Amino acid sequence: MPELQVSIAQHYHERTKYDPQTIASKSQGLDWERQPIPFKEYKIGVSHDLKPYLADKSEGLNHDDAWWRRISRLLFCSYGLTAKVPTLGNPMYLRAAPSAGGLYPAEIYLISRGTPFLAPGLYNYQPQSHSLIHFWDSDVWQSLQKACFWHPVLESTQLCLVTTAIFYRSAWRYQARAYRRIFLDTGHLLGNIELASTMNDYRPHVIGGFVDREINELLYLDPEQEGAIAILPLADLLDVKQNLPLAQTALPSATQTDYPNIPDGELLHYCHKATQIEQQQPDISRPQNSKNDKYNFPFCLKVSTVTPPINCGENLQDLENTILKRRSTRAYTGADLTFDELKALLDFTYQPEHYIEQGLDGSPDYFDLNLIETFIAVSGVTGLEEGCYYYAPKAQELRQIRFKNFRRELHYLCLGQDLGRDAGAVLFHTADLKTAVGQYGDRVYRYLHMDAGHLGQRLNLAAIHLGLGVSGIGGFFDNQVNEVLGIPADEAVLYITTLGQPR
């Protein structure tokens, strides 16, 4: 038995930390003969081709074509193929949402309750052909409702997206730490689904609390290979009856502290099973209370980040273009950002209520942002002193923690990646894992990383829109981040986003 009776989520996080003393011994060469294929195939089923509905012009479309165009654009802007990169082996296809190592562990399924356009049943989104394959044609909506504890949004909606993860796609490269990256990647995808839905008059309502086994069985998944991650009923905003109030997104699971010694090769799957919700209905009465910004350091420098919102273009066209041209930056010049640019990035990411007039959702669904904290290491931002800052989203201000240029340390913390050294600012998402587990059980590990990825995707899009470089980093020396930047030791580092001038 483990000496410290911490929860399995905390145990997993400690076990998968990178450390300078042990990282070399844990690294393994890639088995290229077992490289995963990032697309799922179905041998049988009816295919609905969505490519004809990608045309830019929507004027003059009949009612049927207009409906199909909305679904086509939503899926394409969420997870469609946007580029083809030649490689020595098979070409790599890039998608609208970023993924660590270009591995794309997520799959998207669509469940139809039965509409004039989509018969009841199960559909899988096929990005390589931009199509929906109808692989099961019976009514499963009531089973979906039951597995989601009769979530109120499912009572009034007709379509539902389900994201899953095929674990080996990420584990092939990142081994046990892949579990973190799977949920960060899912968070990227949720960010895209949120914005792509808005652009096409849908509102996704995120559900993170469901009976895993029942959803896996409903979708005919092999739970050893693939698991359901998030459920998103799509409210049609063109139907007044589907303009629905917000509902709870996160439910708690059990907290497991009694577990055996787990071999490295079994850690990911053990953690996933331990974070599942079982058949019994969990406590669903827990409110997500708003809180004040956590850290208010005495006598620190405080700098306002209030700024005009980014212009997303007429009918959000600029935002759609940004989603489709988004790329992770491979190198920075080392030149400074401006403080106005950093303020705009933070505003788009953390202040969605500023974008209501442009047609965006002012309160998009997250699992619980009260658990996420943000720190920023500033190495080169014109108009802002170098150092480490805590970002207080409620007050819309930066609060300085340390006075120092961290370029050399950031290069080290990011496993020697030049992105950390040459970025003008590096943003860290963290959480007090012990407190989070106390609120939601071990399942909170999923919620934290998906929320961090969702925020990271908004940063991605804001940066690309402004002509800046941006790249997320999921590999770093965990404990050393806290030590170097002066971040409290109880903050578990979830995700790093580098921002700079692209080379």
**Which are the contacts of 440, defined by CB distance < 8 A and separation ≥ 6?**
250, 251, 252, 253, 368, 447
Q: Which 3 state secondary structure label does DSSP give 502?
A: strand
User: How would you write 212-275 as a 3-class SS string?
Assistant: HHHHHHHCCCCCCCEEEEEEEEEEECCCHHHCCCCCCCCCCCCCCCCCCCCCHHHHHHHHHHHC
From 8, 123, 36, 145, select the one nearest 72 (Cα to Cα).
123
Locate the DSSP E strands across 8-120.
Answer: 46-49, 81-85, 92-95, 106-112
pLDDT in tens, 284-302: 555 455 678 999 888 899 9
**Hey, which bits of 342-407 come out as E strands?**
373-378, 381-382, 387-392, 397-402
CA dist., res. 210 & res. 282, Å (int) = 9
Q: List C-alpha distances in Å: 85 to 30, 40, 88, 223, 484.
A: 20, 20, 10, 32, 37
Q: Which pairing describes strands 337-338 and 381-382: parallel, antiparallel, or unpaired?
A: parallel
Q: What is the pLDDT of residue 2?
A: 44
User: Cα dihedral sign for 49, 55, 58, 60?
Assistant: negative
Burial bucket for residue 4 (CB in 10 Å: 0-12, 13-18, 19+): exposed
Angstrom distance (rounded) from CA 124 to CA 47: 9
Q: Which two tokens stand for residue 356?
A: 């209501």
**Complete DSSP assignment for 145-192:** HHHTTS-GGGGT-SEEEEEEEEHHHHHHHHGGGHHHHHHHHHHHHHHH
The mean pLDDT value of the chain amounts to: 94
Looking up tokens 């914005």 gives: 195
**Residue 327, both tokens:** 């790329």
Helix (H) or strand (E) holding 498: strand 491-500
Residues for the chain: how many in total? 503
| Burial of 231: CB neighbours in 10 Å, binned 0-12, 13-18, 19+ | buried
Q: Which domains does the chain have, with CATH numbers?
A: 44-274 (3.40.109.10), 302-500 (3.40.109.10)
Q: Closest by alpha carbon to 342, among 296, 314, 311, 382?
A: 382
In whole angstroms, give the CA distance from residue 344 to residue 12: 36
* Residue that has been written with the tokens 């209905």 in this structure: 281
Q: Which residues of the chain carry a pLDDT beneath 70?
A: 1-4, 24-27, 56-60, 280-290
d(CA 387, CA 384): 9
Cβ 502 vs Cβ 332: under 8 Å: yes
* Whole-angstrom distance, CA of residue 101 vs CA of residue 169: 10
Q: For residue 367, what are its two tokens?
A: 């699992």
pLDDT digits (tens, 9 = 90+) for 14-58: 999 999 987 766 667 788 889 999 999 999 999 999 999 997 656
Please compute, for residue 121, the number of CA atoms within 13 A of its CA located in the half-sphere on the CB side: 14
Q: CB-based contacts of 445: which residues, under 8 Å, 6+ apart? A: 9, 12, 13, 183, 271, 275, 433, 437
Question: Cα dist. 315→155, 358, 459, 474 in Å?
Answer: 30, 8, 21, 34
Coil vs helix vs strand at 209? coil
Q: Which amino acid is at 31?
A: D
């076990």: which residue's tokens?
15
